[in-house]
Amino acid sequence: MSNDPRTPVLVSAARTAVGKFNGALKNIDPLDLGGVAVAGAMDGAGDVIPDHVIMANIIQAGNGQNPARSAGLRGGVPTTVPAITLNNVCLASMFAAGMAATMIRAGEMDSAIVGGFDSMSRAPHALQIRQASPVGTEPAVDLLTKDGLWCAVADSGMGPISDQANADLRISRADQDEFSVETHRRAHAATEAGRLAEEIAPMPELSADEGIRPDSSMERLQRLKPAFTTNGTVTAGNASQMSDAGSAGLMMTEELANSHGLVPMVEIVATSTVAGPDATLHLKPAAAASKLLEKVGMSTSDIGLWEINEAFAGVALATARDLNLDLYIVNVNGGAIAIGHPLGASGFRITMSLAREMRRRGIDHGIATMCGGGGQGQAILLRLC
């Protein structure tokens, strides 16, 4: 533990099970997904009332003003607690944890609920009616694509961008498929062993991650056609699944945790964010992690566990290769290709998963890192308490 009483620590964390696109959670309001996760995190709060709610929501249209506040209220946070909703695409809920840690260290707050939520199944379509032509049919805009899956910087889908990156970095279809089979195997093993259940606040509709395929195999994946470009290597089997979920955690000063008899899980040591120079995704997690390690004066050999968000198999492989990581310590309980990638929930989901696994194994330091739409990257360094 640190000698600084203002050291930011994570004392509890929870998430919903991750539902498949148009699956078991398709009728659940995204604010309720966030609320279930918040309630799960608050179960470990004792009598601490958070000073702030900082949560991510990417597909925001139709969710009302400041969705984070509504999710917090539905999770049992008092109406006297302010909230802010973050959206820097996939990075946002990991960024929320970093933002809270910075504000806690600075004395701006003593505690915060952090995390994020999204229902990709319930993403609406939009019509521009106020400026519509008085005659004719106005096309609907799919806000799942427009706000969640389409790179606004490159004006392109992130699938084609990733196909090109795979080609440029010489990441083969076979390597992506092999990685994907392994992530399903690990996620299934973690489910069977009860490790993922420890993270989940069950709902009547779903109590276990819905997208994990125990029967995934190279033979099955090799039969899939390219999903985005004719000669591309990204398929439905080696890319993350569209999903619905919420994740949340309670952070506070070490001093506050001690005074309330709460046992910290991990310390939030530092975070880093990178952007550009282009809109590709593959090497942004590695760049963010490298920046973070340089900031704290550490090297990859000091890090015992890694989480790399599997937006695409190529992203995780490119990151591991760039950082010279052994895949044995990367995403040990599976990743988004198997579990799913519910946008605003994902960054904190992999952060809390890392924290729990560090405690199981007694690992001193771990890093979670990820890419984000528009060519950005985020990384967070955790230290075992």
Active site residues: 90, 341, 371
Q: What residues are paired with 381 via a beta bridge? A: 270, 367
**Token pair for 379:** 């990384």
List, in order, residues 6 or more apart from 259 with CB less than 8 Å away.
Answer: none
Place of tokens 């519910």: 342
